[in-house]
A and B are shown apart, each in its own frame.
Chain A
Amino acid sequence: MAVLEILTYPDDRLRQVSEPVKQFDAALQGCIDDLEETRLAGPGAVGIAAAQVAWFQRVLIVDVSGRKKTGNHGHLILVNPEITEWDGFAIGREGCLSVPDYTGNVVRAERIQLDALDRDGNALCFDMEGFEARAVQHEMDHLDGLLFLDRLVSRRQDLFQRKVYK
């Protein structure tokens, strides 16, 4: 296992679109382990995408289970993830291991349905919402060469966009 170097913006490689995983072999397992070790070595990241360590395959890790009052499906290794349904939208604050010292508001779907494979190639399907759904959408953007910076919305306008009525 190894802690890998994280690409940071404006590194052009963060714009690269990742390829689907085709072989579930020992090399894949090793890369996944390194990716997780790299995530854990960073400052409190709830997720990481393979592209952030210059590994351009469609793999990501999300784990929001350490947060209070946050619905979650535990520690997830997601290979070739696809969002099959979106519902609602919410503004939330995001930062990124690849964009140090900056956070901003981003609109994401509030609920998603997600198909993916696990690290052994078995099919997974999840209904996700809130913070976990946001984390998956953030990481999936990396697989398509996108950063949260590409989706920033104004901090000054959010009074009228957020759901303040309960």
Chain B
Amino acid sequence: MSNWYMLTLVGKDQPGIVARVTTALFEAGSNLGETSMIRLGEYFTVMMMVRSDAGDDALCSVLQPVVDALGLVLHIHAIDGGLHHRPIPDVCILVHGGDRAGIVSQVTSKAAQAGLNILDLESDVGGTESEPIYILQIEGMATQGVESVEKALAPLQADGVKIDVRPIDTLIG
């Protein structure tokens, strides 16, 4: 029986993390599903769905040499389900403004109350050290409609935050 696991790996960024981790998994007969891998600060972060027949102990021992060599932190979590359950986002929210505490909290709280289910969120701090700017991009499903999300977020514009809520019209052809 095939089982799915969510693997989390975090460590100081260096060349070869993805290559070594995925090679170890491949050689152990595991398969990758959806993954997200990105550098945050000086760290490289990996989250990936892995299918394996061997069990989490075996996955752990397969990865241990790579984890030790590269100084990574590994977490393995058994999960239900598998691939091909991908929801299609219907709304995109772009937020930017001068950096200040609470932007993500306020935007996501109001959006959640308006029925937003976040599928993908990434945020970054740009600008300069003395004048940082915050940039937030969200994709999700507006379960109560895109207008509901737009209306809920509109009051935040008054605080000097630029918020753009747009439908994602996916063309199927």
Which candidate, A29-37, A41-49, A81-89, is the interface stretch facing chain B? Answer: A41-49
Q: Are A159 and B171 in contact (CB under 8 A)?
A: no
Size class of the A contact interface (CB-based, 8 Å): 20 to 34
Q: Which residues of B contact A159 (CB under 8 A)?
A: 94, 135, 137
Q: Which residues of B contact A62 (CB under 8 A)?
A: 173
Q: Which residues of B contact A138 (CB under 8 A)?
A: 171, 173
Size class of the B contact interface (CB-based, 8 Å): 10 to 19
Which candidate, A17-25, A72-80, A92-100, A110-118, is the interface stretch facing chain B? Answer: A92-100
Q: How far is the CA of A49 from the CA of B173 in the complex (A)?
A: 8
Q: How far is the CA of A96 from the CA of B137 in the complex (A)?
A: 25
Instruction: Identify the closest chain B residue to A94 (Cβ).
Output: B171
Q: Are B172 and A44 in contact (CB under 8 A)?
A: yes
Q: Are B88 and A103 in contact (CB under 8 A)?
A: yes
Residues of chain A in range 120-165 having any CB-CB distance to chain B below 8 Å: 131, 134-135, 138-139, 155-156, 159, 164
Q: Which residues of A contact B100 (CB under 8 A)?
A: none
Contact with A along B123-146 (1 / 0, CB 8 A): 000000000000101010000000
Q: Are B173 and A135 in contact (CB under 8 A)?
A: yes
User: How many Å from the CB of A74 to the closest CB on chain B?
Assistant: 17
Residues of chain B in range 133-168 having any CB-CB distance to chain A below 8 Å: 135, 137, 139, 164, 168
Q: Are B164 and A95 in contact (CB under 8 A)?
A: no
Q: Which residues of A contact B (CB under 8 A)?
A: 42-49, 62, 67, 92-97, 100-103, 131, 134-135, 138-139, 155-156, 159, 164
Q: Which residues of B contact A (CB under 8 A)?
A: 83-84, 86, 88, 94, 120, 122, 135, 137, 139, 164, 168-173
Having A96-B172, A138-B173, one finds 7 other A-B pairs with CB under 8 Å, namely: A46-B173, A47-B173, A92-B169, A93-B170, A95-B172, A159-B135, A159-B137
| 21 A-B pairs (CB sep. < 8 Å) | A43-B172, A46-B172, A47-B173, A67-B169, A93-B169, A93-B171, A94-B170, A95-B88, A95-B170, A95-B172, A96-B173, A102-B86, A103-B88, A103-B170, A135-B171, A135-B173, A138-B171, A139-B173, A155-B139, A156-B122, A164-B164
